[in-house]
Amino acid sequence: MIAVLRIGHRIDRDKRVTTHVALVARAFGADKIFITTKDEKIKKNIQSVCSRFGGDFQVETGIDHKKIIKSWQGSIVHLTMYGMELDEAVDHLDTGRDLLIIVGAEKVPRYFYEVANLNVSVGNQPHSEVAALALFLDRYTKAAWQRKDFNGNIQIVPCVKGKTVLSKGKT
């Protein structure tokens, strides 16, 4: 089980970025996202993607981050610019254990740095949490997301030119 914990989501300011964090989490191999702020619109948007493109991705909003962290049985990783370098960090993680990935929105309180088993530096320059999550999941899963069959009603087929979309049933 790979889950993402999105902390600090500000509904008016972060809706697009948090949606993109959830989409990347789903596409790159996570099973679930917890969003600390209650936001039914994001939940419905992601569930709509899952109903069309497939997959069993779960979305929970309005959660208490401390309860999730306290009850988590696996490893906890915090993505940041401060921490162990990405490739080295991935080598330290046990892929047989559940993984909770903490992704911030606004300035991340010290608590999350302290509670994480590993703070992972995805680059040392300011960048997007969406990019950090994509890079981390790609490395952690050894690009398994590329081979995943979501078994959806819509399937995009890679091709050099044009667009190939397969559709089965209603979309």
Q: Which domains does the chain have, with CATH numbers?
A: 2-167 (3.40.1280.10)
Output 14 or 138, whichever has higher pLDDT.
138
pLDDT tier for residue 171 given thresholds of 50, 70 and 90: very low
- How far apart CA 79 and CA 14 sit, in angstroms, is 17
- Average pLDDT of every residue of the chain: 90
pLDDT tier for residue 158 given thresholds of 50, 70 and 90: confident
- How far apart CA 30 and CA 28 sit, in angstroms, is 6
Per-residue confidence (pLDDT) for residue 17, from 0 to 100:
87
**Count of CA atoms in the C-beta half-sphere (13 A) of 169:** 8
- How far apart CA 152 and CA 93 sit, in angstroms, is 31
Residue 141 pLDDT more than 70? yes
Per DSSP, what are the bridge partners of residue 155?
166
